[in-house]
């Protein structure tokens, strides 16, 4: 007989295969973001006095800032994997849903705490 308890646990507990896949995913994101930031740094900025110059610089600054934020999140997630604290919500200390981690591997909070944080903004 399959019990409901077993199904419930499978939703949250990460298998070693899950962790390996998530680690690969995080590594890919790390490389992608590092490359993105390298390109932001290497590209010469568009002329600020051109018709769209100032706007383009603003967009690039925002893109670079969000790339840096994601990079920091990804690096933190990889560190948590190394220290064995990966997959635990930073606020309520409960395991983050497996399904959520498979979509957002660098998530720090469970879906509920994330909602609370976003509502508080």
Provide the binding-site residues for Zn ion, judged by CB under 5 A: 89, 91-92, 110, 113
Based on CB atoms, which residue is closest to Zn ion, 107 or 113?
113
What is the 3-class SS of the chain, one letter each residue?
A: CCCHHHHHHHHHCCCHHHHHHHHHHHHHHHHHHHHHHHHHHHCCCCCCCCCCHHHHHHHHHHHHHHHHHHHHHHHHHHHHHHHCCCCECCCCCCECCHHHHHHCCCCCCCHHHHHHHHHHC
Least Å distance, CB 112 to Zn ion, is: 6
Least Å distance, CB 92 to Zn ion, is: 3
Based on CB atoms, which residue is closest to Zn ion, 92 or 102?
92
Least Å distance, CB 115 to Zn ion, is: 10
Based on CB atoms, which residue is closest to Zn ion, 62 or 117?
117
Least Å distance, CB 120 to Zn ion, is: 14
107 CB neighbour count, 10 Å cutoff: 19
Based on CB atoms, which residue is closest to Zn ion, 12 or 56?
12
Length of the chain: 121
């Amino acid at each position: 007989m399959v019990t409901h308890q077993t199904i419930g646990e499978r939703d949250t507990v990460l298998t070693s295969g899950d962790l390996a896949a998530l680690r690969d995913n995080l590594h890919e994101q790390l490389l992608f973001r590092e490359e993105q930031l390298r390109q932001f740094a290497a590209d010469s900025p568009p002329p600020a006095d051109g018709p769209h110059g100032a706007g383009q610089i603003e967009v690039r600054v925002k893109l670079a800032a969000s790339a840096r934020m994601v990079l920091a999140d990804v690096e933190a997630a990889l560190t948590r994997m190394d220290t064995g604290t990966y997959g635990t919500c930073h606020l309520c200390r409960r395991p983050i849903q497996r399904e959520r981690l498979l979509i957002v591997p660098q998530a720090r909070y469970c879906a509920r705490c994330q909602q609370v944080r976003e509502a508080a903004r």
